[in-house]
Every structure is written in structure tokens, then in C-alpha cells.
Amino acid sequence: MKNLTFEATFETPQVVLDGNAGVLEFSGRSHPEDSLIFYKPILNWVSDYLKSPAPSTRIVIRLEYFNTSTSKMILSLLNKFENTENTVVDWFHFGEDEDMLECGKEFSELINLPFTFHTI
């Protein structure tokens, strides 16, 4: 399937969705006022991907900032993978950013997927 990519802007992240490799990567910052506008095509791509996913899927979240409406989009996205085998989440946070680490830990309580935490 076709890859979907977005370049980073002041308020939206760099997104690389690689269907063949099974890697979905979000980096930078995500605080658009209406996050649904930005995440709608991403969620649609994920729905297509899940019809015939790669043997394993890695979701990489490497965000410095995100707002509450983005957090709902990320959770909805992760939610879609709960029944997909061999899916892992790699959650990155800046060394001293305890808030982002805490947030990742809470997401891992809400979502039934294995999370691995990494420091940038």
C-alpha cells in the first residue's frame, strides 16, 4: 500500500506511515486547534492498513509537545491496533521530561499493547 507522509509544521508533527515496513512514526509537536482535521487522513490510512497489515507493526511516538485533543487522536489510533498481532509501541521522551514519560505510562494502562519506553 501507498505510504503516507507529512512534513512537520509549527503545530503538527512529522508523520511517516510505511505500510510495507509496518512502521508508523510521529515526531515533533502536535497541537493543532482541531486535531481531527489533521488526524482524519491518518486514521483512514490505518483502517486501510489493518485490512492486510505487515507481519509486525511498530508504532513510534517521539513527540515533544501535544495537546489534549491530539492525545485523543493518538489513543484512537492505538486503539485500532489492539487486536493486531505483533504490534509494539515505542514511546520516546526527552531525558528530563517526566510528564511525557508519565503520559506514556498512562496510555499503556489504557491500551492493550506492549509499550517500550526510550529516552532521547
Which residues sit at the interface with another protein, rule CB under 8 A?
Answer: 10-11, 31, 33, 36, 64-65, 67-69, 71-72, 75-76, 79, 94-100, 106, 109-110
Shortest CB 31 distance to another protein, Å? 5
Shortest CB 88 distance to another protein, Å? 20
- Nearest to another protein of 14, 67 (CB atom): 67
Shortest CB 20 distance to another protein, Å? 29
State how far the Cα of 21 lies from the Cα of 87, in Å rounded to an integer.
12
What is the rounded (10 degree) CA torsion for 32, 44, 72, 21? -100
State how far the Cα of 28 lies from the Cα of 82, in Å rounded to an integer.
25
- Nearest to another protein of 20, 68 (CB atom): 68
Type of residue at 99: D
State how far the Cα of 111 lies from the Cα of 113, in Å rounded to an integer.
6
